[in-house]
Structure 1
Amino acid sequence: MTDSRPSRRLRQGRASLAISFFVQGAIFALLVTRIPALQDRYGISDGLLPLFLAAVPILAGVGSVATEHLVKRMRPGLVLRVVQPIVSLALLSAGSGTTVWQLAVALGVFGLTVGALDASMNMLGVSLQRAYGRSIMLGFHGAYSLGGIAGASLAWVGAHWDLPLPTLYAPLVAVLVPVALIAGRWYVDHRGDHQGEHRDDHRSDHRVDHPGAEPTEVVRDGTTVSMRALLPLCLVMAFAYIGDSTVSNWSAKYLEDVLHSSEQLATVPYNVYMVTTLLGRSFGDLGVRRFGAVTVVRAGALLAGGGFAVVAAAPGAWAGMAGFTLLGLGLCVLVPQTFAAAGRLFPGASDAAVARLNIFNYVGFLIGSPLVGALGGAWNYRAAMLVPMALVLMTIRYARSFSPVPAGYGDGHERPRTVDVG
């Protein structure tokens, strides 16, 4: 009888990658939750601040594109081991400078490397899920959510005790960088473990030049990466992050200004959203294994759409918080499953597919907050919430793109794991 349990090396690879997701969640939260402190430290005006904030996701998109080409020459695990410490050190630099140009350089480095980090982490996650033969991507993103909660909590402590940013960041970075480096020793890289088997295939990557081919198509290991085929997943990724950025940027203002809550209560919805995101991702893999990715994605989109509807119609603060709770439970499954679906769609070129898909993470982040702000200012914020609701519900139209394909997991939901990667 065949032993279907993952090997020890796969289990170690899964744990080490989860640690990296956790570290990145904490680092990112420590940046975004202390933006007001960064603004005060450098004397940045309210008019200039959006330019700094927009530069980070734009440069992250550039970093993700660069990673697609970088992993043709080196393993994604090696990319992750190099860039994760740089991201942490860039955070420390952003909090330790004294002039605006120093902040600009630090945020520029942060943006470029965080794009490479997000892409390489998810490349490894997709590769490990293929090796496991069952859904585990939601667990990695759950670790990211847990890290975000930890980072936001530490940032709250720093704000409560009025700690200078270098005092807050330095000891945390001193701990997180070695943790990430040590965890990186056990990364399992599917391509690295089969280097001899696939070396010739990767050297023969080439552009498709036959009549009618898309200029963005790449053939790798017999698989064509086509933006036309990837587009539904790209849209889902953008819609999910439009919803996510709406919550992160507007939930407090919405509760305080529209639902007339207290200032203290207005800080609660985002925390509730993060906790429900963690809970949903902690159990989401079980749902995928039981019901399949298509059903889970449809259910997540319906929950998220319902959450936005509740928020838009809420008569008071507590009803609004109930809506944000539904949002967390619904949105949390979409992004991990989108990365996993890209890996199934292009099994021989999952690295390239993940890198391209990751760009739309930042597209959604860039669009979401300004879109809701503009609509809220020109119209009203209740009506503005209906726009991300409609976009998230459009995910249902593209749910079939999440169905397994023969090159992926074989049956409707999972496949037996017959070969360990490594």
Structure 2
Amino acid sequence: MTVPPNRVRAALITAFACNGLTMAAWVSRTPAIRDLTGSSTGDMGFIIAGMSVGSMVGIAVGGPYVARSGARSTIRTGMFSVAFGTVVVGIGAALGLGWLVALGLALLGFGLGSGEIALNVEGVALEQAVGRTVVPGLHGSYSLGLCLGALLGLAANAAALPVLAHLLATGALTAAATVWMVTSLRAGTGREPRAAESVPLRETVGGFLSVWRETRTLAIGVIVLGMALAEGSAGDWLPLIVVDGFGLTATTGSLVFAFFGAAMAAGRFAGGWFLDRYGRTPVMLTSAAAAVVGIALVSFAPGIGVAVVGVLLWGVGAALGFPVALSAAGDDPVGAARRVSAVATAGYAAFLVGPPVLGFIGEHTGLRSAILLVLVMVAVSGAFARAVARPSLQRTP
């Protein structure tokens, strides 16, 4: 049965929005979870790394899973893992067990990581079907969910709602949305018949690793490494930067994080128009510059007012890095799942290394100084911006 593009788009918007809502539910409660588990800044870095480890595993199996079974099946598995992991995080926080929070985050990360591949393969296929840029807008739905989730987290913090109740409700909502959403996706998108029939999984995985020999894929991976770190570091640390770096309340931290989510949503929803009008490379260069300025303002701001301006620039600047890189990786329909998987792996490598490294640096110098590492990585990403140009627009050496 053929599924209309608008229905596919609605399903993808739902999936991305649920992922953003779930991420914000956890992030907005990090100060409370830190206190419930009695963790230091360094400890929180390793707890958060649980999500990154799970994400890396999800990324590693997500691409081959899409190739063998299709994107829809992968999305279903990933979304239910997101819902279950969110509940486990809440239980771990309620029991004061940091290791259980880390385990829940690993399940959450596995779902996000494996689902990220499938959702973007679906998004790139939809983009090609309708003939216009849509992937940034889909990621904008994630950011919108992030913003809404942060506002709900703000309300939960202000009302002293137990972390378990908050995360249990979020997990239940995601599970319910998934039941509807997977019925609106097309079967077989991203499926490679040869991978599904007789090729051993070991060889399928080897094929996914082989794309790193492609110069363009490697360069796109460098871009997404820095831009994903810019996005992920805000998700991991921004509420704590506000609380510890500026001496403000957890409620204020959630509000500032909501501003960040709103800025990313605005950048992504508007991004499609700018990308179609000006091209990927100029937009990527501008994005990287905005993120560098924004992070610098947050790091050196004398007060929260200037820092909020920095947060908004940081959010707008980081908005398009990941989706544009993934769109670029999927330009060639042949092997799209492999390249999207490889590039997403680079992004999640940043999520894996970033939390403990920033936590370690923050433990000794403060989180506002630690994010200067993110600034440097974003600047490096900007230097490789030409790699995301559509193949027909790239000059042959």
Same fold (TM over 0.5): yes
Q: Quote how far apart the aligned CAs of 1:255 are.
A: 5.5
Which amino acid counterpart does residue 287 of structure 2 have in structure 1? G
Query: What does residue 139 of structure 1 align with?
Result: 137
Kept in 1, the 8 Å contact 2:150–2:254? The answer is no
Deviations 1:160-207 (A, max 9, x none): 222233433344433332222112111135637xx7xx6358658799
In structure 2, how many angstroms separate the alpha carbons of the residues matched to 1:104 and 1:378? 23
Deviating more after overlay: 230-239 vs 248-257: 248-257
Which amino acid counterpart does residue 328 of structure 1 have in structure 2? G
Query: What does residue 328 of structure 2 align with?
Result: 341
Query: What does residue 182 of structure 2 align with?
Result: 184
Query: What does residue 22 of structure 1 align with?
Result: 17
Change (3 A) 1:93 1:126: same
**Please, which of 392, 397, 417 is the counterpart of residue 378 of structure 2?**
392
In structure 2, how many angstroms separate the alpha carbons of the residues matched to 1:385 and 1:362? 18
Kept in 1, the 8 Å contact 2:148–2:258? The answer is no
**Please, which of 70, 76, 80 is the counterpart of residue 81 of structure 1?**
76
Percent of matched pairs sharing the same residue:
23
**Please, which of 26, 33, 38 is the counterpart of residue 31 of structure 1?**
26
Q: Quote how far apart the aligned CAs of 1:245 are.
A: 3.6
In structure 2, how many angstroms separate the alpha carbons of the residues matched to 1:384 and 1:65? 29
Compare CA radii of gyration and give the structure with the larger one. 1
Provide the TM-score with structure 1 as the length reference: 0.79
Q: Does 1:235 align with 2:222?
A: yes
Q: Quote how far apart the aligned CAs of 1:226 are.
A: 3.3
Kept in 2, the 8 Å contact 1:308–1:389? The answer is yes
More helix by share: 2
Change (3 A) 1:280 1:367: same
**Please, which of 256, 274, 277 is the counterpart of residue 261 of structure 2?**
274
Change (3 A) 1:63 1:246: closer
Query: What does residue 336 of structure 2 align with?
Result: 350
SS for the counterpart of 2:68 is coil
* Unaligned 5+ runs, structure 1: 1-6, 210-214, 413-422
In structure 2, how many angstroms separate the alpha carbons of the residues matched to 1:403 and 1:90? 37
Deviating more after overlay: 125-134 vs 163-172: 163-172
Give the aligned length: 385
**Please, which of 306, 324, 327 is the counterpart of residue 314 of structure 2?**
327
Query: What does residue 388 of structure 2 align with?
Result: 402
Q: Quote how far apart the aligned CAs of 1:110 are.
A: 2.7
Q: Quote how far apart the aligned CAs of 1:134 are.
A: 1.5
Provide the TM-score with structure 2 as the length reference: 0.84
**Please, which of 89, 93, 102 is the counterpart of residue 88 of structure 2?**
93
RMSD of equivalent CA atoms? 3.3
SS for the counterpart of 2:4 is helix
Deviating more after overlay: 88-97 vs 372-381: 372-381
Q: How does 1:161-240 map to 2 (within 5 A)?
A: 161-188=159-186, 191=189, 199=193, 203=197, 217=207, 225-229=211-215, 230-240=217-227
Deviating more after overlay: 353-362 vs 230-239: 353-362
* Unaligned 5+ runs, structure 2: none
In structure 2, how many angstroms separate the alpha carbons of the residues matched to 1:316 and 1:113? 38
Deviating more after overlay: 296-305 vs 106-115: 106-115
